[in-house]
Structure 1
Amino acid sequence: MSNKAHKNNLTAIKALDLQKWSVTFWLIKRYIANHEAHYSVLRVNTDAKLQKRLKGYVIDQLQGREFHLTEYDFNNADGDDTLFTITADATDFPKVEEAINAGFDNAIAKDYQELLNSWSYVVQLEHGSDRLYAWRKISTLTQPKKVQSRQATFFVEHKLMDVEDKEVFLIDPRFDFFVHGDLIFIANKKEFEISMNFREGMKAKAVEVIQNFNVSGHFKNVDLIQKHVGDNMHHLRKMASILKAGYYQQPHYIQRMIEVSKEEGWELKVEDGQIVVEEETIELLLKLLNNDRLRSPINNEVFDAAAKARVK
């Protein structure tokens, strides 16, 4: 789907009269098995006042502001006025939506203990067959069992009451991402990636890149890259970007990379036409494999730029 289509989708959302839509509040439970995330949902009854407030949060954040839309990339940096777009089927969200679609077959929360240890909450707005989802990852600040540590008190019937005497669930007015149709609008990239289990997906991409490096014959000591990347999200993000861009698979790219490195005095070690992976230069190597080292045509300065938008 083109960026123009994404903008049209957002324009259509902004035109919706969400105040007339019905609201359902869902708690999302998650567990991991064999590196795959599994989800279940719990329906939570809400009163009319809270439903109005939830709709207000969605309207304020999604309809009340102007956004710059850009396609999600592993190296995007969050910005207050930016929404990143990605198709829902590239994420775990269809699993959650399938569970929500069971509707009244899902259990209703009847006990405060059922609210504890939830993964996230979803506000579902619905009008006929049209649905809009707003997702918020539960953090240490909003997790019910953690609220006591914030030393909150309530003023009820002319007296302050300790929070330990209340069963509290905090709701944040900001959402991490929104889903409409088959498109996701991401407001908080970090929480989106955590919510949708992107670390495991990036691990798989890193393994694929390492395998490609071994097969190519262009590298020695590839195992050092695997050790360097490990479980580090920043490094996994870089490997996923290298795979997506695919420069290293282009004819002559590696050879040209070696030649330019020598011309520029970059410290890549090369033996018998192969790049020797060294701990000291792994970061440089990953930058070059992702074509991150760029030169300005204006003043000839060289920059490292991970997030690249190609000029068309």
Structure 2
Amino acid sequence: MPDLAKLKAFDIDGASLSLWVFKKRVPKGAAPIYTGRWAEIGDDLTTEIKRVTATSIARIEEVIEYSHLAQNHETSVLTISTAETHAGLLKDKAAAQQENKRVRNSADLENIEFYAFRFVKDETVLYAIRKADQSWKTRKRRDIVSVVLQNHELVLDRTPSFNISKAVDFFVYDEAIFIAAKQNFESVLAYKAGHQDDFVEMQAEDAFKGAFVDLEEIVKFVGDNKIQLRRISAIRQKGHYKDRVFMDNLRRLYKENGLNIVFDGSGKIVPSEETCRDIFQALLDHRLGSDFSRRKYDVPDTSSVTV
């Protein structure tokens, strides 16, 4: 498990700071391509960025291992190794403040995907990353008229302005990622594309194909929905459809567990629009029973315990 104490011990006040902005494109079937530029920042902004980052780290009390369906709350973060993500590509782009990567004008800032605060202390590097809001999008600016109060009257403000949030989506530190905002993390590091690739590969797996009469209804059910893409990736990660004992138990006990699933004469699942939800619950092993209340429950995620 990544070391939260080491993250909290990082000397933000004593670290040097640079601000990087990134644009991103994701070629089909390939890793994301990041284009990064660094911007000069004034003393007041430097102080505020350090305060925001320190506050965001200080609120963390708990770490939870990242999974496709895991969720954190206000005082916890999800954690995952950088080796399991595209974070290395991002870090490579921000490794040095080269002159040809300096922000020259507002066009270099417009339509960015995200920005990163890069802190360096004694050759140790911390990244605090946030997905850009609509103030960085030119399309949004076309729809509004910016004004400022000047000498007791409102006047036009033609100077481009950009918002920096008082929250951080995730931190990259010591080969680990600490995630406060899962959806933004997955967007920045192209995790949805990874889920889509997972599903394409699953459809070619003999074990997965062999569990069903056909996959047409499963493909329609998943579609481009980010939640179902996460769920199908979790199904692949758990791999219950490859477990003969699990599948035999499912065929034997699905009615007892109130699952709306249809099997053909050979024991293969027959998917339909009405049954896909329960098929997913079963393959995720998310239909659980309480020994105390004798009730059955659907759960969003599971964590094994030793008894």
Q: TM-score, normalised by structure 1?
A: 0.90
Q: Does 1:107 align with 2:98?
A: no
Match of 1:55 among 36, 50, 57: 50
Match of 2:220 among 201, 224, 227: 227
Q: Does 1:80 align with 2:94?
A: no
Which amino acid counterpart does residue 84 of structure 2 have in structure 1?
A
Q: How far, CA to CA, are the matches of 1:215 and 1:283 in structure 2?
A: 17
Of residues 27-36 and 181-190 in structure 1, the stretch that sits farther from structure 2 once superposed is 27-36
Deviations 1:116-148 (A, max 9, x none): 111111011111211110101112245466357
Match of 2:121 among 100, 124, 127: 127
SS in 2 for 1:11: helix
SS in 1 for 2:269: strand
Deviations 1:245-273 (A, max 9, x none): 11111232111101101344533211222
Partner of 2:25: 31
Match of 1:177 among 170, 179, 186: 170
Q: How many residues end up aligned between the 2 structures?
A: 304
Which amino acid counterpart does residue 11 of structure 2 have in structure 1?
D
Which amino acid counterpart does residue 175 of structure 1 have in structure 2?
V
Does the C-alpha gap of structure 1 residues 92 and 106 become closer, same or farther in structure 2, counting only changes over 3 Å? farther
Of residues 151-160 and 292-301 in structure 1, the stretch that sits farther from structure 2 once superposed is 151-160
Q: Does 1:252 align with 2:237?
A: no
Unaligned 5+ runs, structure 1:
none
Higher helix share: 1
1:132–1:180 contact (8 Å) kept in structure 2: yes
Q: Where in structure 2 are the equivalents of 1:265-280 lying within 5 Å?
A: 266-272=259-265, 273-280=267-274
Give the superposed CA RMSD: 2.0
Displacement of 1:214 after TM fit?
Answer: 6.0
Deviations 1:149-198 (A, max 9, x none): 565533456654333x2221111111110111100000001111111111
Q: How far, CA to CA, are the matches of 2:209 and 2:246 in structure 1?
A: 12
User: Runs (4+) of structure 1 moved beyond 4 Å?
Assistant: 147-152, 156-159, 213-216
Partner of 2:255: 262
Unaligned 5+ runs, structure 2:
none
1:214–1:222 contact (8 Å) kept in structure 2: no
Displacement of 1:288 after TM fit?
Answer: 0.3
SS in 1 for 2:134: coil
Q: How far, CA to CA, are the matches of 2:178 and 2:187 in structure 1?
A: 15
Q: How far, CA to CA, are the matches of 1:302 and 1:79 in structure 2?
A: 25
2:202–2:208 contact (8 Å) kept in structure 1: no
SS in 2 for 1:170: coil
Which amino acid counterpart does residue 176 of structure 1 have in structure 2?
D
Of residues 209-218 and 289-298 in structure 1, the stretch that sits farther from structure 2 once superposed is 209-218
Deviations 1:208-252 (A, max 9, x none): 333336666332022221122111111111101101111111232
Which amino acid counterpart does residue 262 of structure 1 have in structure 2?
K
Which amino acid counterpart does residue 13 of structure 1 have in structure 2?
L
Q: Does 1:242 align with 2:235?
A: yes
Q: Does 1:307 align with 2:301?
A: yes
